[in-house]
A and B are shown apart, each in its own frame.
Chain A
Amino acid sequence: MFENLSSGLDVAVQKAVEQARDTNFFKAGITGRGVYPFINLFEKDGDLVLTAELAGVKKEDLTIEVREDVLRLAGTRKIAYGEDCSCHRLERKGLNFDRSIKLPFRVEGGLIKAEFKNGLLQVTLPRAEADKPKKIIIN
């Protein structure tokens, strides 16, 4: 059935699908894309660990904020070459980014640990004590 479609429509359909995927329209599985920086979220002993690859971002250019259950990652990745330079290949991108991530639970603000080494950011987000489920003892 699809063979009959003109190639122009084909491209349009492809583009629409790509865009819909970028906006998480399909909500398929646990993978997402279309934003920068890319993040991975892991679970460890009931707490969360967030990792992000931020090669070339300086520590002072990176802001991490947590409010209740929303984590914000913002910063700048600067890539600049001198006036006298000519380029053969430019694949890396310099950009400003600002991204908020909704976490599945509230985070204990004082216990967050962030490590930024070799362009790899790792943030440990412990679950807030007040947010943990309470065990109810049956009389």
Chain B
Amino acid sequence: MSEKKIVTKTQTQDLEKKEHKEERIVAGRFFIPPTDIIENKESLIVMMDLPGVEKKDLRVKLENNMLEVEGRIDYSTYEGLNPVYTEYNIGNYARSFKVSHAVDTRNIEAVLKEGVLSLTLLKEPEAEPREIVVK
């Protein structure tokens, strides 16, 4: 095939898992979880698909305005099972986002339900305009 390959994406391909390319300290595969980011008047909502991740194996960290989500799956579920037919790969999940200063980083709510993590980031109340007195 020629060098400049144009790959047209079908909808089914969009549903496939994407794997992280960079190396990590933890052994095993890491996938990029599909994520929705929605904004309404008072908050930003991040919804992330993390099937198979339990609450205790999920870590949400905020450092230097980077919001990091890492979810580990329980490999013991698959112990003693021989694959006969497979359509997807299993592995952990990791994804990080840069959070802007417009977000109140002290009040982030995280809920994990039915394998979906939802993060609610409240917007910082806009700094009130004030006049500076000249001395």
Contact = CB atoms under 8 A, between A and B. Distances in A.
Interface of A: 2-3, 5, 7, 10-11, 14-15, 18-19, 22, 30-36, 38-44, 48-49, 51, 53-58, 79, 81-82, 84-93, 104, 118-120, 122
Best-buried of B40, B53, B87 by chain A (most CB within 10 Å): B87
B49 A32 contact: no
A85 B120 CA distance: 13
Interface in B67-105: 77-78, 80-88, 90
> Which 6 A-B residue pairings sit nearest by Cβ, starting from the closest?
A119-B115, A55-B115, A42-B81, A119-B51, A53-B51, A91-B34
Contact of B13 (A18, A57, A104): A18
Given A31-B86, A92-B47, A18 B81 contact: no
B8 interface: yes
Interface string B23-63: 00000000000111111110011010111111000000000
B7 A41 contact: no
Given A2-B2, A85-B40, A92-B36, A118 B83 contact: no
A104 to B, nearest CB: 8
Contacts of A85: 38-40, 45
B127 to A, nearest CB: 22
A44 to B, nearest CB: 5
A31 B84 CA distance: 9
B15 A41 contact: no
Contacts of A40: 83, 85-88, 90
Contact of B8 (A5, A11, A88): A11
Contact of B88 (A2, A53, A56, A93): A53
Best-buried of B12, B85, B90, B116 by chain A (most CB within 10 Å): B85
Interface of B: 1-2, 4-8, 10, 12-16, 34-41, 44-45, 47, 49-54, 77-78, 80-88, 90, 112, 114-116
B25 to A, nearest CB: 24
A92 B34 contact: yes
Contact of B14 (A10, A33, A35, A93): A93
Contact of A55 (B45, B49, B85, B90): B49
